Chain A
């Protein structure tokens, strides 16, 4: 029975349900010290002096490092750019602030102490002198030419400018009967994995090796960057990602804190552990999403969308994170959605302010693109007195492959059929009737529709910003090693962070080799034993890594068959492996267990002909073809049905239907888990979560008491329908998924809430939609 397509139970779960997983804070090394950061209490200030004398007088205060000391030892943090991006000049972003601080929580110094609690005490004794400066919190202000500059080496506060054009925007305007215009504002929120960041850095003076145990999605890429930043030989750095308690793109970061930790480990010659507190994490781990879009959509009266144009402003925070251009472009390039438009035009400015740096979070910005187009469609439908679904059907792409004006080539799938399926799931016609009936009773039910093409396996980085290494996502290399008993280890340079790799990769390997799955084990996360890899990101595991698993499995199978053919005195091409037996096809009885073949290949090598090499190991790479910015194009349709309580402003879900297509599913149970989990994150991000700063730049949401992530009672049950259109260009037909739910939920939920309270004269163009915000909107509408 083939393993691919089976919802088998996860092979990694026994350790988790028994509490024997190993996350970074579960690791203790001999002689280990504990580290704590001294962080800026100011949003913007000149740093006049940092004095660690008192801190080191504390009996448990072992050592410390300041920004001034770190400056000559560690180079700037990396920034990637995209093709066609114009980066003006790069802010000088160091692991510890050395001249100015630019956001609350920015690290200023790092101390090492004998234990966890003492580290906090010692950090508090570090004396820092600041001269507070006026903070710049609003990108609309800081983008102005006469605004004070946040970085002396920049010409102004624009950290990154990207201009993208596609199709014929002029024709779109020429043919338009009217131009729809709006300004949209999306609020700041982020991934908040329940395990915060954490790392143990260790320097061995004898081998001169730097070893890190680090909660990261990118062990190999982190190694390469650390080598650059610290000017340390790459082959002397080993990064081990143990179990990772959630990543969601946030842990793609190259944390400045980890760079500082390495310096302290080298200085103290002892392992140093840093585990971030939640408060630190909310202040200084990456934030995401906050953008505004000034949008114009030239339209025909008959409902034809002709084009889309936007000026996108991203609130980039105090420094540019390596991936700043990703979520910026992710929004802009997703503006046309799955619709046929002629012209496309986006200008993106990522603007420096005194907030936490802005980075990657599940969906990589595409939810903002989806929100802009999907919200606009609803508003246009209202203007034209059309049903919003009808307007979508008129404009949706009818046939794939389809070359979008953005340059993306959507590979496969039937978007219309997906939409019809979702409408059927909620019984759309009946729902509208029900809605009308409820409105008469003074109850406000809303139906939100959003559809989007997602894009998996982003691969758009370029070395435009020259001095930094730039990872590329479009290939993967996998090694398979059979041991002397015929069991196989699959070595992958990725890291699972809830993403079930140990199960899905084993399923693919089992089918490729022809072995029972319980003889296969997946090993990830350690750069010393796995092939180079760009990490767990952009939903590339299925689209890129799994095909490499299959290739490598088939190569190993060939080697096993070669030895088997010799032992069975058959022709190599007649060999097959079925259920762990090597056999001659069609000749019953002529077979050997794989374990026997393995034994010969390792320990009876002399009995094999000279041309057959010893051992059983294979390494293969898969290089995925690109179509536009991405490799494959999964898509989805979300229809939430909500009821808004206009007295309390709360939103209750009555239904939530999801149709999605990520190509061939290796394990439908795992796929559904990702879809539902991602959607929940999107719903939370829309309704509950917001990073709130006051005008002095103080972050007001520094705990889970104020930054509200969804609880079990906030979430509905989701109904998921799986379509499986094989990706034509990927062996195996996988499309990659995992970001998806989070991409569509935002637009769908906003549309649902808007649809509910629209009869009360409310127009929604900004988020979040917290109860207080909904009440405010209702008040404004009442006038």
Chain B
């Protein structure tokens, strides 16, 4: 039975009728809401390209059904910047060359957001461990780690 899903995504209200029960959240975001920054890289919940913030927690949006999003608060990569002001993580990826093809980047940034919430002052090993669920085929991860450490520094000095 198709359902109606009402959700807040990136601070905006969305109302979608006729949502098939089997529709995955990632396809709901991409195909129904047009938020194509969230990507799909696998069909076994391994790659993390689809990571979004769901009620404050980083989740792989290919593992959730869209109907679960009814009443939820979701942040996707499109909602990470504050208007035109990039989030320090976005700046960090840019500054440190933390991306090449960019396909894994939105998912990486969403996972890193949660990482920095949990570990405001992470070391390299922590960053690597926390990003284990996100695959990148281009960078070898080195600059992704640098990018996250750069952002952590930035956030710390902004908070201080």
Whether both chains belong to one complex is answered with yes
Interface mask (A3-23 → B, CB under 8 Å = 1, otherwise 0): 000000110111111111111
Q: Which residues of A contact B22 (CB under 8 A)?
A: 117
Q: A673-B143, A712-B128 are in contact. Are A704 and B103 (CB under 8 A)?
A: no
Whether B42 lies near A703 (C-beta < 8 A) is yes
Q: Which residues of B contact A275 (CB under 8 A)?
A: 40
Report B111 CB to chain A, min CB distance, Å: 10
Whether A17 lies near B109 (C-beta < 8 A) is yes
Q: Which residues of B contact A570 (CB under 8 A)?
A: none
Q: A245-B101, A718-B140 are in contact. Are A25 and B36 (CB under 8 A)?
A: yes
Which residue in A21, A192, A498, A710 is a CB contact (below 8 Å) of B100?
A498
Q: Which residues of B contact A116 (CB under 8 A)?
A: 27, 31
Q: Which residues of B contact A19 (CB under 8 A)?
A: 35-38, 76-78, 80, 106
A711 at the interface (CB under 8 A from B): yes
Q: A14-B94, A670-B97, A676-B142 are in contact. Are A21 and B102 (CB under 8 A)?
A: yes
A715 at the interface (CB under 8 A from B): yes
Q: How far is the CA of A307 from the CA of B119 in the complex (A)?
A: 57
Of A178-186, A518-526, A677-685, A766-774, the one contacting chain B is A677-685
B113 at the interface (CB under 8 A from A): no
Q: How far is the CA of A340 from the CA of B105 in the complex (A)?
A: 45
A80 at the interface (CB under 8 A from B): no
Of B1-9, B53-61, B130-138, B152-160, the one contacting chain A is B130-138
Q: A117-B23, A195-B39 are in contact. Are A17 and B86 (CB under 8 A)?
A: yes
Nearest B residue to A711 by beta-carbon distance?
B132
Whether B137 lies near A191 (C-beta < 8 A) is yes
Q: How many A-B residue pairs have CB under 8 A?
A: 182
Whether B137 lies near A709 (C-beta < 8 A) is yes
B33 at the interface (CB under 8 A from A): no
Q: How far is the CA of A21 from the CA of B139 in the complex (A)?
A: 18
Q: A18-B37, A19-B36, A680-B140 are in contact. Are A711 and B102 (CB under 8 A)?
A: no
Interface mask (B77-102 → A, CB under 8 Å = 1, otherwise 0): 11011000010001101110101111
Max chain B CB contacts within 10 Å: which of A194, A500, A678, A715? A194
A482 at the interface (CB under 8 A from B): no
B49 at the interface (CB under 8 A from A): yes
Which residue in B44, B102, B136 is a CB contact (below 8 Å) of A278?
B44
Whether A194 lies near B136 (C-beta < 8 A) is yes
Whether A712 lies near B94 (C-beta < 8 A) is no
Whether A713 lies near B128 (C-beta < 8 A) is yes
Interface positions of A from 738 to 770, Cβ below 8 Å from B: 741
Interface positions of B from 4 to 41, Cβ below 8 Å from A: 20, 22-23, 27, 30-31, 35-41
Max chain B CB contacts within 10 Å: which of A22, A248, A278, A679? A278
- Please give the number of chain A residues whose Cβ is less than 8 angstroms from any Cβ of chain B in the complex: 62
Whether A9 lies near B100 (C-beta < 8 A) is no
Q: Which residues of B contact A16 (CB under 8 A)?
A: 99, 102, 105
Q: A193-B101, A500-B100, A670-B97 are in contact. Are A279 and B43 (CB under 8 A)?
A: yes
Q: How far is the CA of A711 from the CA of B134 in the complex (A)?
A: 7
Max chain B CB contacts within 10 Å: which of A10, A18, A710? A18
Which residue in B42, B46, B137 is a CB contact (below 8 Å) of A681?
B137
Report B27 CB to chain A, min CB distance, Å: 7
Q: A18-B78, A19-B37, A117-B20 are in contact. Are A711 and B135 (CB under 8 A)?
A: yes
A1 at the interface (CB under 8 A from B): no
Q: How far is the CA of A717 from the CA of B40 in the complex (A)?
A: 27
Q: Which residues of A contact B42 (CB under 8 A)?
A: 278, 703-704
Q: How far is the CA of A709 from the CA of B106 in the complex (A)?
A: 19
A277 at the interface (CB under 8 A from B): yes
Q: Which residues of A contact B23 (CB under 8 A)?
A: 117
Q: How far is the CA of A10 from the CA of B98 in the complex (A)?
A: 10
Interface mask (B116-135 → A, CB under 8 Å = 1, otherwise 0): 00000000100111011111
Q: How far is the CA of A245 from the CA of B144 in the complex (A)?
A: 16
Interface mask (A650-680 → B, CB under 8 Å = 1, otherwise 0): 0000000000000000000110111011111
B141 at the interface (CB under 8 A from A): yes
Q: Which residues of B contact A705 (CB under 8 A)?
A: 44, 46
Interface positions of A from 345 to 367, Cβ below 8 Å from B: none
Whether A25 lies near B142 (C-beta < 8 A) is no
How many chain B residues sit at the interface, stated as a range, is 35 or more
A440 at the interface (CB under 8 A from B): no
Nearest A residue to B128 by beta-carbon distance?
A712
Q: Which residues of A contact B139 (CB under 8 A)?
A: 673, 676-677, 680
Q: Which residues of A contact B97 (CB under 8 A)?
A: 9-10, 669-670, 672-673
Max chain B CB contacts within 10 Å: which of A9, A117, A245, A709? A245
Nearest A residue to B132 by beta-carbon distance?
A711
Whether B86 lies near A18 (C-beta < 8 A) is yes
A246 at the interface (CB under 8 A from B): yes
A694 at the interface (CB under 8 A from B): no
Q: Which residues of A contact B127 (CB under 8 A)?
A: 712
Q: How far is the CA of A670 from the CA of B101 in the complex (A)?
A: 12
Q: How far is the CA of A12 from the CA of B77 in the complex (A)?
A: 17
Whether B37 lies near A243 (C-beta < 8 A) is no
Q: Which residues of A contact B90 (CB under 8 A)?
A: 17-18
Whether B40 lies near A704 (C-beta < 8 A) is no
B74 at the interface (CB under 8 A from A): no
Whether B135 lies near A677 (C-beta < 8 A) is no
Q: Which residues of A contact B80 (CB under 8 A)?
A: 18-19
Nearest A residue to B136 by beta-carbon distance?
A194
A224 at the interface (CB under 8 A from B): no
Report A17 CB to chain B, min CB distance, Å: 4
Q: How far is the CA of A248 from the CA of B138 in the complex (A)?
A: 9
Q: How far is the CA of A23 from the CA of B36 in the complex (A)?
A: 9
Report A720 CB to chain B, min CB distance, Å: 9
A110 at the interface (CB under 8 A from B): no
Q: Which residues of A contact B142 (CB under 8 A)?
A: 676, 680, 715, 717-718
Which residue in B77, B99, B137, B144 is a CB contact (below 8 Å) of A13?
B99
Q: How far is the CA of A19 from the CA of B134 in the complex (A)?
A: 16
A43 at the interface (CB under 8 A from B): no
Q: Which residues of A contact B40 (CB under 8 A)?
A: 25, 275
Whether B135 lies near A13 (C-beta < 8 A) is no
Nearest B residue to A674 by beta-carbon distance?
B100
Report A579 CB to chain B, min CB distance, Å: 25
Q: Which residues of A contact B36 (CB under 8 A)?
A: 19, 22-23, 25-26
A244 at the interface (CB under 8 A from B): yes
Report A522 CB to chain B, min CB distance, Å: 16
Whether B101 lies near A497 (C-beta < 8 A) is yes
Q: How far is the CA of A15 from the CA of B30 in the complex (A)?
A: 17
Q: A17-B86, A19-B37, A19-B77 are in contact. Are A679 and B46 (CB under 8 A)?
A: no
Max chain A CB contacts within 10 Å: which of B40, B129, B133, B143? B40
B67 at the interface (CB under 8 A from A): no
Q: Which residues of A contact B78 (CB under 8 A)?
A: 18-20
Q: How far is the CA of A94 from the CA of B9 in the complex (A)?
A: 45
Q: How far is the CA of A674 from the CA of B142 in the complex (A)?
A: 11
Report B97 CB to chain A, min CB distance, Å: 5
Q: A194-B136, A676-B142, A676-B143 are in contact. Are A703 and B105 (CB under 8 A)?
A: no
Max chain B CB contacts within 10 Å: which of A9, A246, A669? A246
Nearest A residue to B107 by beta-carbon distance?
A194
Closest 6 CB pairs of A and B: A19-B37, A680-B140, A245-B103, A16-B102, A498-B100, A498-B101
Q: Spell out B's residues near A (CB within 8 Å).
A: 20, 22-23, 27, 30-31, 35-44, 46-47, 49, 76-78, 80-81, 86, 90-91, 93-95, 97, 99-106, 109, 124, 127-129, 131-145
Instruction: List 9 additional A-B contacts (Cβ < 8 Å) besides A19-B36, A117-B22, A246-B138.
Output: A13-B93, A17-B90, A498-B102, A670-B97, A681-B137, A710-B141, A712-B136, A713-B129, A718-B142
27 contacts between A and B (CB under 8 A): A14-B94, A15-B102, A16-B102, A17-B91, A17-B102, A19-B76, A20-B78, A21-B37, A23-B103, A26-B30, A28-B31, A117-B20, A193-B101, A194-B137, A245-B102, A246-B100, A275-B40, A277-B43, A278-B42, A278-B44, A672-B97, A677-B139, A677-B140, A704-B42, A704-B44, A712-B144, A718-B142
